[in-house]
Amino acid sequence: MTKPTVAIVTDSTAYLPKALVAEFGIHVLANVVNWGDKAYRDGVDIGAVEFFERLKVDPVHPTTSVASLGEMREVYATAAASAEAVLGIHLSAKLSNTFKVAQEAAALLPDKKITVLDSQTTSMAMGFIILAAARAAAAGQPAEQVRQAAQAAIPRVGVVLTLETLKYLQRGGRIGAAQAFVGGVLDLKPLLEVRDGMIHPLERVRSRKKAMGRLVDIVCERLAGKTSVRLAALHAAAEPEARELLEAAQARLGSAVVETVFTDVSPTVATHTGPGTIGLAYGDGF
């Protein structure tokens, strides 16, 4: 049997639905949630449901870390054994050392054809980049064209979020430019986006309901007139609201929407955003 041309590697912050991971044979590196004296592999030892149930009652707050170089090398070696070439796509290097460790792991496999990309984002915004590459690979395209498919998708994706509170971003040191929102009126709800690899503030509004409305407005304004629109709703223990967001955006964009995805926020991301986080990721033109 002929080997596939390109294997795709990513990390668990995308939290791609398992059906898509299986369909395209994507190799997923589990990032790590450290809780008390134990380390849990994101999506393997701990999933979103267990994570949020524990977060409600455990006075100890979790932290996150990158998988070890040895674990990263093992994932890349497995992927390289399954295909002629490997393309790794990881969350923003400005938010995590995952990309750096992936580069180091690739360097430990000099006889393998491995390329590692910084997605400059995370969650399902990164997920859509991964899927663009995976679909190109599934179509039998050569390694360079698969890389180009991923690279071309990077500037065409985005993710807009609203959080219940900024305290988790503050605590984890990932708040970036959103620090400007800290210290304002307490009941204002922040709207944030990941742009150029970092978290940036967009707006603050008076209520959760208004935040949801503005989130849909912002995404639909950005996608107005676009074709081949992809939408993903993501949530941290807030499924009904996330479904409402997805339905509202899909209704507004109509036939332009060619794909929708619904997923949890991964535990490693949710450690920094907190419960109640909801958002829309999107991509267009690929």
If you ran DSSP here, which 8-state letter would residue 67 be given? P
Digit-by-digit pLDDT tens for the chain (286 residues) are 467 799 999 999 999 999 999 999 999 999 999 999 999 999 899 988 899 889 888 889 899 999 999 999 999 999 999 999 999 999 999 999 999 999 999 999 999 999 999 999 999 999 999 999 999 999 999 999 999 999 999 999 999 999 887 777 766 454 444 444 544 445 678 899 999 999 898 998 989 999 999 999 999 999 999 999 999 999 999 999 999 999 999 999 999 999 999 999 988 888 888 889 999 999 999 9
> Is the CA virtual torsion 79, 281, 250, 136 positive or negative?
negative
Predicted local distance difference test score (pLDDT) of residue 185: 45
Residue by residue, what is the 3-state secondary structure of 141-170? CCHHHHHHHHHHHHHHEEEEEECCCCHHHH
Check if the beta carbon of residue 42 is closer than 8 Å to that of residue 14.
Answer: no
Predicted local distance difference test score (pLDDT) of residue 164: 82
